[in-house]
Amino acid sequence: MFVSCEKEPNIPKGYTLLLPAVSVGNVGQLAVDLIVHTLGMERIGYLHTDCLLPMVGNNPFSTSQEDASQLATGTEVYRSVEKNIVAVQQRAPLVRGKQCEFRRRLLEWAKQCGFSRVVLLTSSHAYERIDTQMTGTQLRYLLSPELQQSVGKAVGELKWTELERRRLYPGVEQRDGEEQTGVFIPGGGIARKFYQECCEAGFPLAVLLTFCAEGDNIPDAFSLANYLNQWLQLVPCKKSGGKGATPQAEWKIPSSWTLLFGSAYPPDLY
């Protein structure tokens, strides 16, 4: 699935892998755009597979005329040697019926490359929130048991809110009086199933998500990127806005974030 564009493929073991899920508002993908562009990550390869729909365009991270014509494909892999991270940017959705296969190949590739952990950035439908999620921070996290052991304490010190488990069968009590609960991430793309599969495989995975609705999701992308940055410290932060507020980093907006809502309207319409 991974095809390197370097003469000698080089993904050192122990790196962190950032993955976006194609989810409501495309928040994970927008957050990865901010991270890749701000850190100036270099492209090291492509995820070339029949599980992804094809898409091409010019360089979404161009900073000058010279690099504007560099072709970008649907799903690319970037690396930052300075921060020891590899990021995947997925710009096109999955082929219908191929989600299971894609998750399997992703996990296999992550194991092969020897990533120390995978961080999945996603979002969830705001209209599916339960009462306790309606107020307060809209950001949540999940850690697989493997990662809970290594970073659970560090994450605990950040005073983050873990994603609440939901009852799998509302109103149905088990014989021992306990109710079965599970992870519920509506609109989160591959997040829920990938989390379950990583837990079963004993693979270190963190899921970071925000509740949002479709619309102008730029603020949600900034919020999720700042959330991640609070933990991984990828980009220097400005002074914190207030008590309990997530520190804001100085993110650079890529050139592809123009005309997000379509072309200019024809003036003679009015």
Site residues (vs other proteins, CB under 8 A):
3, 5, 46, 48-50, 53-60, 62, 68-71, 73-74, 91-92, 95-101, 169, 192-193, 255-260, 262-268
Pairing of strands 117-125, 205-212: parallel
Task: Give the residue from 31, 40, 80, 84 showing the smallest Cα distance to 59.
Answer: 40
Q: Encoding tokens for residue 189?
A: 């793309």
Shortest Å, Cβ 57 to other proteins: 4
Three-state DSSP class for 181?
Answer: strand
Q: How far apart are CA 63 and CA 255, in angstroms?
A: 8
Shortest Å, Cβ 246 to other proteins: 28
Q: Residue 203 is which amino acid? A: F
Helix pair angle (145-157, 218-232), 10° resolution: 90
Shortest Å, Cβ 122 to other proteins: 14
Q: Which is nearer to other proteins, 231 or 257 (CB)?
A: 257
Q: Which is nearer to other proteins, 89 or 248 (CB)?
A: 89
Contact 14, 113 (CB under 8 A): no
Q: Which is nearer to other proteins, 174 or 263 (CB)?
A: 263
Shortest Å, Cβ 92 to other proteins: 7
Q: Which is nearer to other proteins, 250 or 268 (CB)?
A: 268
Q: How far apart are CA 155 and CA 104, in angstroms?
A: 27
DSSP code, position 14: T
Shortest Å, Cβ 250 to other proteins: 22
Q: Which is nearer to other proteins, 58 or 161 (CB)?
A: 58
Shortest Å, Cβ 105 to other proteins: 12
Contact 37, 257 (CB under 8 A): no
Q: How far apart are CA 183 and CA 177, in angstroms?
A: 20
Q: Which is nearer to other proteins, 139 or 185 (CB)?
A: 185
Q: How far apart are CA 235 and CA 149, in angstroms?
A: 25
